[in-house]
Structure 1
């Protein structure tokens, strides 16, 4: 009798453990198929299979994974649902799998500036939570699916610079939340519906009907609610005009005047650049004279070669987009980190070098990385920093022993103090533009130090943002900066 009771208790406990495991898997993985396959994993693997990935950015997408939240280019919610998919500028080709419509929790899709072809999935309207969709600068063809109009939460839509054809879908007029729309440079035709978007562009579609009253135009005339302007003040979309010839004449005159101003501006810019002094005068890359710039020491290249054992791979501390960082020991036994810029003689290297030196000379704070000095020759540009014995947050989080919560809190507060100084106490304020775990360094006492100012921008305090070409590290760029090009202290945070 006792053995029977014990067996029943064991079976009951096993059943509860099994049910608990099922609940745990459901909470972690979202929706599971009867075979225990995560639908989101399956959809993402279908997307990967339909694309050609020359740079291997999707290599860690694994069909056998429990959930996709640790994959590159994938963003998940706190409930472990996939809400973001972003692989811009990765030279991807192939087609976009219709399985993307199974990722029904998606809010952001960024696939711009690739070589993707084929049609936009016809059921794209199933992604009812989508807020940002950017498929620009690809080779998508065919019509814009009518179901796009079902994306009632969509605020930002870019389909420009593709090969889309067919009539403008009237369903676009149903998208009441749409704030930005760009359908320029396609082969769309027919009348233009009334958009709710405050800003939109449809230039570069030669078959559109400006008024809807043209002989070859079928459908109802719908005049756009708003039009954005080009540099000359002329609308990108020109509606009804009572005097077409006058518009052409005015446009030609404005265009001619603009060309003259541009030519004069280019000439003045060239003359200024031709006459201006270089950032540092480099006459002899091997001189031994010690030169200072403020409190910065100018190092001899041979000195840094010896310090790093000729930039030995054994002394490599890390790699970045602009160069490698090496550990070095100077002649006075000072331990330093030497950042050797790639393509030091190129224009991009010159700009990055100058930016970093200027920004660090402006910002001096205990939670900001200070600069010991620099070395510059015709072919090399190097920056010398204090050596951070605990590396970066990215590397330290993987090391042993595990950091306790008091140290983690100190690191977080230190990094925040550094950013507050850049944003609030510098004049003009400094926008870092590449804040990530790899750029927050830790000294001997695990004090956080914000580093790598090569992408930083100056901004007057009365300005809310600066519009630039998007720069930074894929996976760490704020979504609003990636989609608008507008960077501010908020995109740093």
Structure 2
């Protein structure tokens, strides 16, 4: 009996552990039945461990999918019945697309669903009776489709329903009486009848019916609307008064002056919650320190004890600190990708700004490369290759799929984090910028980490996607060599060496194997090494226009080779650059020698003693 009980317990644990995998499969199957013209759900791959980094997906603390938000995403095709296999789903927003076919009966299995929006599609057939089993459903929108038949009487059994919109379909018959008693409803544009004692519903909104209840439903919202308008006017006057005397804050990008924050699903924490979670911001909890703040490990209160990373910003009362906070919240709220660090929540007080992120079990790439602890294995070669690809995909998303584009401005191994599965996640958006789409650039103070800053950025102060690509190239060299971008010259005993220069010398000398991190103990693939080094050097090309786009980098990493013509072009350009450098060095040496000779002659002529 004990053995059987243990077996059942083990099976339960295995099933529990496998749940996120099954959700990935379900979402992938849903994607395969949809036509995705904008590439919105391209990231719904079936080889991922968790669905929680998929675009448009929100999960709870147990990694269960609770929300799918794909309103107005240009989707067509049909809705897969597998969507009914997501038991924790609370919101399904697919309105404003071109989805065809019928509404799956399986939607009735979504016992946690509170919001179902399928309006503005091309759905046909009848409304499934099974929707009457959605006991928690509050908001149902099936408007502007081609649905026909009668409204199922089962919808009358929805105890939480307070908003139903079935307008502009081909429905007929009588509206169930209970559905005329919800707070908000709309049935216009159908062939419906409101019952014996009420006016016909064809071409009219039943909210304007003749009963006293209907009058109350019209008058009360009107009063509420007037009160709301007064409140809005008062708030606007208070805001205007405050802004009138507020010091002006310079923002680099035209059109980005309004920093009103819309946090959506992001949680607002209390100061006390985060103080307890981090042990009163104990120094023993510090995970790292950046240019704008310290990051602490924390454990949120509750039965699950979820681990988080809490970033506490420095000097928040100064303009730079405030801008950093606003920038990070805005940008991370916009950027939703499995290889981009997602924001869980935030906390603000008059003197504090805090950001809460998922805890990355394996910290940063830099720490795993250079701070190897006793009995902790070094990153193996396949993991390093996967990290390079994950970071490239994250930057590709920022550069090519966000609108406006986002420039990170500080791409380096220390800002790429690793989750429990060593999946790369690009983080630390404290220096990030949104690009001006019209000018395709912004002008700022030069910020970043020396050794990772592109030469044209140092010269002009104008970051671009190409400056990020330069930083990514240096990061690739960090991953391969395990070295910092700038490290001490131990041979000469003084000064420092640029990692890029060192790698170029070794490549030109045909000494690729001398580049590799010795912690790998020669366990690496030489062809992959050669390819990654070539990609890194292309990304750090002196001429920005010659650097590949991040989408090209992703393609090269996913493929087997770097295009031969690009590599040959780099070699020619690098040879010309080195020859010019050596010529300048010789000219300077000649000038120095000639000057020394003239001084010596002058001393002799003057009778120097």
Tell me whether the two structures share a fold, i.e. TM-score over 0.5: no
Highest Rg: 1 or 2?
2
Q: Higher strand proportion, which one?
A: 1
TM-score bin, normalised by smaller chain: 0.3 to 0.5
> Which structure is higher in helix share?
2
